Amino acid sequence: MTSGRSFYITTPIYYPSDVPHIGHGYTTVAVDALARWHRQAGDDTWMLTGTDEHGQKMLRAAAANGATPQEWVDRLVAESWFPLLKTLDVANDDFIRTTQPRHEERVRQFVQAIHDRGYIYAGEFEALYCVGCEEFKTESEIVDGTGAFEGLKVCAIHSKPLELLQEKNYFFKLSEFTEPLLKLYAENPDFIRPESARNEVVSFVKQGLKDLSISRSTFDWGIKVPWDETHVIYVWVDALLNYATAVGFGSDPEEFARRWPAYHVVGKDILRFHAVIWPAMLMAAGVEVPRGVFAHGWLLVGGEKMSKSKLTGIAPTEITDVFGSDAYRFYFLSAIAFGQDGSFSWEDLSARYQAELANGFGNLASRTTAMIARYREGIVPPAGEETDGDRVIRETVANAVERADAAIERFRLDEAIAAIWTIVDALNLYITENEPWVLAKDEGLRSRLDTVLYTAAEGLRALAVLLSPIMPIATEKLWVGLGAAESLGRLQDQALRDAGRWGQLRPGTSVNALAPLFPRVEQPGDGQPGAAKA
């Protein structure tokens, strides 16, 4: 079943010089969950992620490690960035690297095109640059250094000294796009989400935009400016174009028409690049602007934005090795309101794993399949007459599907999961209230027990479908446990928006032994790897 609707979604492309940490993993799993949801709903979905490999930061890191920049990025991408996708069970459709010829050639073509359309000129430039951000800094983004950097001007984000750069540069006439951008934001209130992000960008652009330096001549690790090979293209211009070059911009018009425009999900730190510079670049080239930009918040550890340079970095494997990738995905996507900052702690992760996953969802699945095995020889019974209590479950499921899908339209993964969790809670309550173990003792209540077992199993069928974009591994185990794979086909082929249609799990289906969905883990403090960091 396909809706015919195109849904193209991207993560930022990551700087491979950093080792992946849970902040990168957060963006990636959010985009993956959104893509999986749309794919399973039948939308013509494409998910892109990748790496941002040019620029001064990379050049310096390579030199410090005695490698050429290409050798250096090849190694980092192979050793750290491809494995991250496996660690987190990400089903991306493509992975772009900005050093690939498919990208470099089209970037030159794009920059040449906006040059030919009169949006680029040569000028002199002098400003303070942060290599960590790969960005020139304005007054408000510069603070006085402390400690070893006392007396120096440092970047407010990286707390490292800025460099005074003075060179001849090519400039993009960004200032000409102040009005067109304000019009874009006014006409498309959803272009930037959430609202707080939108307000921030609108007030920034209202102050008027300055032209943007888009080339560098003091180093050569980048894509050469087509009309002046002594310059390389500014790394952000190069990087933003990945979203277009990956889907055939300039090389495959049919593919580009099918996919473009995209939705971009980014951390709020890089919102302006995506919501201001990027649409302006596209307008200058006469290409459609993105469908929208969603800015999520920061993961905070100990109250600070987590980052490798501030030594608060946590590798995703530290979490997945203990709790598994499903728990990683569930935890970050459910515990943090998507769009706001969220604090990470091992205690919170561990408590939610225990309460919501192991005791809530996992236990519901294991006791339901175990009761079908014990009381009905492993065969899902047919439901008898429906009571009010059974109807409540059926309605809760239908309602949850609608609410979750509406939340996903707003990119609110946390709200979607909360809506789906009403099914988990309702079913656990339903089992407690109906006491199937009591019904099982009375042959006269046989039909009632059938109904209760069917209702619980059918509710779990819906849960497996709805939660598969969030927790692909546990839901697959559940799907097999319910015996649904034989009668209904593959889990990822179940139409998501149809998940609330009651009665899909067929009576007569044989359930299978259920592999534990969320195995017991030692609590922090028990000497687990996580414990030391808590």
The residues annotated with a catalytic role in the active site are: 21, 24, 130, 133, 155, 158, 305, 308
Closer residue to ligand MSP (CB): 337 or 473: 337
Closer residue to ligand MSP (CB): 31 or 114: 31
Report the 10 Å Cβ neighbour count for 335. 16
Closer residue to ligand MSP (CB): 41 or 265: 265
Matching residue, tokens 């969603």: 294
User: Site residues for ligand MSP, window 263-322 (CB under 6 A)?
Assistant: 266-267, 269-270, 298-299, 305-307
Rounded to 5 degrees, what are φ and ψ at 161? -60, 150
User: From CA 184, how far away is CA 206, in angstroms rounded?
Assistant: 13
Whether the CA torsion 353, 358, 359, 362 is positive or negative: it is positive
The answer to whether 97 contacts ligand MSP (rule: CB under 6 A) is: no
Query: Least distance from C-beta 306 to ligand MSP, angstroms?
Result: 4
CA 281 from chain centre, in angstroms, equals 24
Cβ-Cβ contacts under 8 Å for 117 (sequence gap 6 or more): 284, 285, 286
Residues that bind ligand MSP (rule: CB under 6 A) add up to a total of: 21
Choose one: 8-16, 254-262, 356-364, 454-462; the region binding ligand MSP (CB under 6 A): 8-16
Query: Least distance from C-beta 117 to ligand MSP, angstroms?
Result: 22
Query: Least distance from C-beta 229 to ligand MSP, angstroms?
Result: 24
Rounded to 5 degrees, what are φ and ψ at 85? -65, -35
Pick from 14, 177, 260, 430 the residue near ligand MSP by CB under 6 A: 14
User: Site residues for ligand MSP, window 45-64 (CB under 6 A)?
Assistant: 52
Pick from 26, 294, 361, 430 the residue near ligand MSP by CB under 6 A: 26
Of 36, 118, 132, the residue nearest 466 (C-alpha): 36
Contact 16, 53 (CB under 8 A): yes
| x/- track of binding to ligand MSP for residues 233-252 (CB under 6 A) | ------xx------------
Closer residue to ligand MSP (CB): 266 or 420: 266
User: From CA 392, how far away is CA 295, in angstroms rounded?
Assistant: 37
Closer residue to ligand MSP (CB): 12 or 436: 12
Closer residue to ligand MSP (CB): 294 or 518: 294
Q: Strands of 197-258 (E only): list them.
A: 212-213, 215-216, 224-225, 228-233
The answer to whether 23 contacts ligand MSP (rule: CB under 6 A) is: yes
Choose one: 58-66, 172-180, 262-270, 483-491; the region binding ligand MSP (CB under 6 A): 262-270
User: From CA 293, how far away is CA 272, in angstroms rounded?
Assistant: 10
Contact 48, 11 (CB under 8 A): yes
Residue 37 tokens read as 């949801």
Own/partner pairs, 179-183, CB within 8 angstroms, 24+ separation:
180/280, 180/283, 181/205, 181/209, 181/276, 181/279, 181/280, 182/206
Query: Least distance from C-beta 319 to ligand MSP, angstroms?
Result: 14
The SS3 assignment for 426 reads helix
Closer residue to ligand MSP (CB): 13 or 214: 13
The answer to whether 24 contacts ligand MSP (rule: CB under 6 A) is: yes
Choose one: 17-25, 82-90, 160-168, 358-366; the region binding ligand MSP (CB under 6 A): 17-25
Query: Least distance from C-beta 94 to ligand MSP, angstroms?
Result: 15
Residues at the interface with ligand MSP (CB under 6 A):
12-15, 18, 23-24, 26-27, 52, 239-240, 266-267, 269-270, 298-299, 305-307
